[in-house]
Each structure stands twice: as C-alpha cells, then as structure tokens.
Amino acid sequence: MSIDKNTVKKVAGLARLRLSDAEMEKYAGQLNNIMGFIDQLNEVNTDNVEPLPSPVDMDLPLREDKVMDGDCADAVLANAPESVEGFYVVPKVVE
C-alpha cells in the first residue's frame, strides 16, 4: 500500500493541519516509510486476543455527582487569545 499526496492531503484536512506542497511531498515519503515499518505487525497472529487499551487493570472510578470545582471563569479565560464577557470568541460560523 502506498500513501500518495492526495491521501496526505485528506489526512492533513482531518487533522486540521495546513501543509504546503513541499510538506505534503515530504510527509508522503516519510509516512510510507513509517507505515512500511509498522506493517510488520501483520506477521503476528492476534486471533482471539483482546485489545489492551490501558496497561493497568483498573475500573474507571466514578465520583459523586456534585460540583467539586468551578466558578473560576476568569482564570479559565485568562489564556484565551480572544474572549468577551465570559465567552471565547471564534470567527463567525453562521451566515
């Protein structure tokens, strides 16, 4: 399987990364190389093997449904590139 420039373009779009033509060429080559290296995983028989999402065997803990923290909008917004009256500001998304 080969990853061409069009695939790179599609993946970059999914990842919300604007890439130049030169970058797309470069990543196409490198991704092919890396995915080729990764393809050796196909040698391993994994029939009836359960995927391991986390190395530590532990149930996800639940906590009581009550407010533990909050009321700190100013601190939360302090690092925002743009905010107004307690809200983040983004470019207009509806016409």
Partner 1 sequence: MTELTHLTLAETLEGLEKKEFSAKETTQAHITAVESAKHLNAFITETPDLALQQAQESDDRRAKGDVKPLDGVPLAIKDLFCTKDVKTTAGSNILGNFIPPYESTVSGNLLRDGAVMLGKTSLDEFAMGSSNTTSAFGNVISPWKRTGNSNLDLVPGGSSGGSASAVAARLCLGATGTDTGGSIRQPASFCGITGIKPTYGRCSRWGVIAFSSSLDQAGVFGRTVEDCAIMLKSAAGHDPKDSTSAKKDVPDWPALLNGSVKGMRIGIPKEYRMDGMPEEIEKLWQQGIEWLKASGAEIVDVSLPHTKYALPTYYIIAPAECSSNLARYDGVRYGIREEGENLNDMYEMTRAKGFGAEVKRRIMIGTYALSSGYYDAYYIKAQKIRRLILNDFLSAWEKCDALLTPTAPSAAFAVGENEDDPIKMYLNDIFTVPSSLAGLPGMSIPAGLDKDGLPLGLQVIGKAWDEQTVLNVSRAVEEAAQFTALPQLATRKAA
Nearer to partner 1, 14 or 67 (CB): 14
Q: How far is the CB of 65 from partner 1 (least distance, A)?
A: 14
| Distant-in-sequence, close-in-space partners of 8: CB < 8 Å, separation ≥ 6 | 19, 24, 27, 28, 31
Q: Where does the chain have alpha helices with state H? A: 5-14, 21-38, 73-77
Contact residues: partner 1, CB under 8 A: 3, 7-8, 10-12, 14-19, 23, 27, 30-31, 33-35, 37-44, 46, 49-56, 58, 60-61, 63, 72, 75-76, 78-82, 88, 90-93
Contact between 27 and 11 (Cβ < 8 Å): no
Q: How far is the CB of 12 from partner 1 (least distance, A)?
A: 7
Q: How far is the CB of 78 from partner 1 (least distance, A)?
A: 6
Nearer to partner 1, 38 or 67 (CB): 38
Look at residues 1, 5, 47 and name the one whose alpha carbon lies nearest to residue 29: 5
